[in-house]
Every structure is written in structure tokens, then in C-alpha cells.
Amino acid sequence: MNDHVKELVCISASVAGHCRPCFQYHFKKAREFGVPVEDIKQAIAIAKEISAAGDKHIVEFAQNITEKFDRP
């Protein structure tokens, strides 16, 4: 994997993992490697979708588990 792709993956992981210091570090490294801002924006958008899907699914999962205790 080249440095360009690695930093885009790390940026996505940083956003999905809600880690500001990680994002700042990998954003800076990506720019140093010449990664275009448009590519970084796409990596952020992908992470946003992944994070939102995970948030939705864990909420549904937790609700399903707790609903079992509401039944007599």
C-alpha cells in the first residue's frame, strides 16, 4: 500500500473512531504526501457513512436486547 492510500485509510479510521489527534496527524501526513483535499473529503464522507451505520445498528441491537426484559 502506498503512502497516499495509507493516509486516506488512516483518515477514515480516525473519523470513524472519533479521534481528533489521529485525524490531525494523518491529515498533516496526507498533505505532506501530496494527497489532494478532495480525496481527503471523500475519505471523510466514507467514514461518516460507516460511523452512522454502526451507530444505527448498535442502537437497534441494544433496543432489541432490552426489549426482551419488557416481556412478561
pLDDT band at 71 (very low <50, low <70, confident <90, very high): low
How big is the chain by its Cα radius of gyration, in Å?
17
Give residue-wise pLDDT tens across range 9-59.
999 999 998 999 999 999 999 999 999 999 999 999 999 998 887 777 888
Residues 18/20/25/10 CA torsion (nearest 10 deg): 10
CATH of the structural domain 3-70, one choice from 1.20.1050.10, 3.40.50.300, 1.20.1290.10, 3.40.50.620 = 1.20.1290.10
Which residue from 41, 61, 43 is spatially nearest to 53, judged by alpha carbons? 61
Q: What is the pTM of this model?
A: 0.77
